Amino acid sequence: MIQQLEITLPAYGRGYHLIDSEIAGHLSNLPKTGILHLFLKHTSAALSINENADPSVRDDFESIMNKIVPENQSFYTHTLEGSDDMPAHVKTSLIGPELTIPITNHQLNMGTWQGIYLCEFRNRGGRRKLVVTIYS
């Protein structure tokens, strides 16, 4: 059986944001076993699973990605939407727009310190749409 819904996430500022509770609030009856697939319908934000306890990890992610893919490079040609736009597209390609998470005993089967991040790469990315598909 396949269930699907679309969640509109609130606008977040640039950075790495835990969205576990936002997602869980839309998941009422998970199957005993299955797969949860998340797909972000945007090209300047991404999804990741990582450390959910220490907020400094999210700050470090931002610093590292900005060093790997800096803004205001003279070789960028896609610049009409601002200096954060082209780097946001590259960062999205590096991290990716989707996640797959196992469901076990009606719960997402993630590690103790794992959380789901919305990686917002734009200064003002706006509301983001997330397609949630549950396979059981």
Residues 83 and 24: beta-carbon distance below 8 Å? no
pLDDT in tens, 13-25: 999 999 999 999 9
Mean pLDDT for the chain overall = 96
Q: What pLDDT is stored for residue 50 in this prediction?
A: 96
pTM to 2 decimals? 0.95
Q: Going along 1-136, which residue ranges are E strands?
A: 2-9, 13-18, 33-40, 45-51, 98-104, 107-108, 114-124, 128-135
pLDDT in tens, 70-118: 999 999 999 999 999 999 999 999 999 999 999 999 999 999 999 999 9
Q: Going along 67-111, which residue ranges are E strands?
A: 98-104, 107-108
| Arithmetic mean of pLDDT, 9-38 | 95
What the block records as the tokens of 27 is 């998941």
Check whether 28 has a pLDDT greater than 90.
Answer: no
Q: Going along 29-127, which residue ranges are E strands?
A: 33-40, 45-51, 98-104, 107-108, 114-124
Among candidate residues 1, 6, 73, 4, the one with its CA nearest the CA of residue 41: 6
- How many residues in the chain? 136
**Residue type for 106, please?**
H
